[in-house]
Amino acid sequence: MSEPSNAPASHGTLARSRRMMLLDTSMKVLYPSILVLAMYFLLAGHNRPGGGFVGGLVVGGALALRYVSGGAQAVRSTFRLPPHLFLGLGLLMSASTAFVPVVLGGSILEHGDTTFHLPIFDKVKVTSALPFDIGVDLIVIGLILMAFAAFGEDVPDAPGAADDGSDAPSPALKIRSKP
């Protein structure tokens, strides 16, 4: 995580004059608390409201706040990993969790749960659906990161003459490989 205000004023960073101090400061409190809330939703979501999707959306909300306060650069610097890795790993995790029970002779998406007794937390119920939820969470985060990467940059207010549709693809779409 980088401090948005110290980031070099490169492409996609909001100019210092356009930033709101109130928002920047409150972000320091808000951002971690939102992430904790997201974590709660992710872990609570089996028999109670929550789940991977909701958790992912809440993380997405936190990212949106970062975007408002620091511009596309702030979102991009949130995680070290490229967005498509989140998406891929999440899908891999969900799809394989869904399929594991079939290998074990059950049917797809089947899951079980078990209850532990841990020192501080006392009763902890763990379900095998948790990896599935984490996968969904990662998919949502990956998608939101990609959306910010693709559409987060400031667009010229009026479509300029140079913008003839042959513009360079945005970073998220710029995943090229050597032929």
Partner 1 sequence: MSVLLAFAAAFLFATGTWMLLQRRLSRILIGVGLVGHGSNILLLMSGGDGGVSPIIDTADPSEFADPLPQALVLTSIVITFGVTAFLLALGFRSWRITHDDVVEDDVEDRFIARRHETDQAIAEEELAERDQAVEEGRR
Partner 2 sequence: MNALIPLPIIVPLLGASLCVIAARARWIQRIVSLSALTCNMIVAITLFVRVDDRDMVVMQAGGWPVPLGITLAVDRLSAVMLVVSSLMLLAVMVYAIGQKAEESRYAAFNPVYLVLAAGVSASFITGDLFNLFVAFEMMLVASYVLLTLGGRPDQVRAGMSYVVISLIASTFFVTALAVIYAATGTVNMAQLAERMPELPPGVATGFSLLLILVFGIKAGLFPLFFWLPDSYPTASGAITAVFAGLLTKVGVYAIIRTQTLMFPPDARQGTLLLVLAGLTMIVGVLGALAQDDLRRMLSFHIVSHIGYMIFGLALFTLAGVAGAVFYVVHHIIVKTALFLVAGLVERRSGSDRLSRVGGLVRSAPVIAVLFALPALSIAGLPPFSGFVGKFALVSAGIDSQDWLIVGVSLLVSLLTVYVMVRIWSNVFWGEPEDPAIVAWIASEESRVPRLMTASASVVVALSVALMVFAGPLYNYAERTAADLLAPQRYIESVLGSDAP
**Residue 163 C-beta: closest distance to partner 1, Å:** 6
Quick check: 99 binds partner 2 (CB under 8 A)? yes
Torsion, CA 78, CA 94, CA 177, CA 164, rounded to 10: -70
Closer by beta carbon to partner 2, 20 or else 95: 95
Closer by beta carbon to partner 1, 122 or else 167: 167
Quick check: 155 binds partner 2 (CB under 8 A)? no
Quick check: 96 binds partner 2 (CB under 8 A)? yes
Residue 53, token pair as written in the block:
């999707």
Environment class of 17 (CB within 10 Å of its CB; exposed 0-12, middle 13-18, buried 19+): exposed
Contact segment (CB under 8 A) with partner 2 among 33-41, 71-79, 148-156, 168-176 equals: 168-176
Environment class of 143 (CB within 10 Å of its CB; exposed 0-12, middle 13-18, buried 19+): middle
- Measured CA to CA, the distance from residue 73 to residue 148 in angstroms comes to 10
φ/ψ region of 178 (left if φ > 0, alpha if ψ in -120 to 50, else beta) reads: beta
**Residue 172 C-beta: closest distance to partner 1, Å:** 11
Which does residue 151 bind out of partner 1, partner 2, none, counting CB within 5 to 8 angstroms by kind?
partner 1
Quick check: 118 binds partner 2 (CB under 8 A)? no
**Residue 96 C-beta: closest distance to partner 2, Å:** 7
**Residue 141 C-beta: closest distance to partner 2, Å:** 14
